[in-house]
Amino acid sequence: MIAKRTIFLSVLALIAVGAVLGVIVIRLANSPDRAPTGKTEPLISLKPSQTTLAHLYFSDQDNQFLIAEERSLKHPENPAFFAKNIVQALIKGPQLGLVRTLPQKTKIRAIYVTQAGICYVDLTSTIADQHPGGIKSELLSVYSIVNSVVLNVPEVEAVKFLINGSESKTLAGHIDLQAPVKANMLLIR
């Protein structure tokens, strides 16, 4: 009899504790500082892309140096998307009398950025097939992309080139692209 009474009192205590906790939860949910506003908040905050002033590097008229052309570009929070916007703008070419450094029909296959700060730029074979050739021209093509991406995207320290998804030894036979390439400030005027 004592065992039945103890079980009964234990169950009754559990029910009472549950009721008290239920009342507390309901009051907290209906408190004025937590009252619904009629607005729903998204689970992930997606901020619209902002524009930012970027420096894109194109060749001078003598094909000797890179010169910055300021361009207002969409700057999403994702560094790979920003790098893609930069490379797309380089492919479109300069707007202020400079010389293009990439063949106009070049296409971007993919761009991604690793945690180590390496930006992989995968381009179609057009970049190599339609490249005018020459060591200086190839040098300016490579560093047009590298300097434009590295100097505008803080998360990127170097660029690794891929052509049609594969590593390429060079772009047009002269500049070694087997390792990631860092910015070269000596080419900028």
Q: Which residues contact 140 (CB under 8 A, 6 or more apart)?
A: 59, 63, 65, 66, 101, 187
CA 177 from centre of chain: 22
In the prediction, which pLDDT does 14 show?
Answer: 54
* Below-50 pLDDT ranges, the chain: 25, 31-46
Q: What are 44's two structure tokens?
A: 């992930």
Instruction: Report the pLDDT value the prediction gives residue 22, as an integer from 0 to 100.
Output: 54
> b/e for 105-129, b at 16 or more Cβ within 10 A?
ebeeeebebeeeebbbbbbbebbbe
Sheet containing strand 108-113, strands side by side: 108-113, 118-123, 158-163, 166-167
pLDDT of residue 40: 35
pLDDT digits (tens, 9 = 90+) for 152-187: 999 999 999 999 999 989 988 899 999 999 999 999
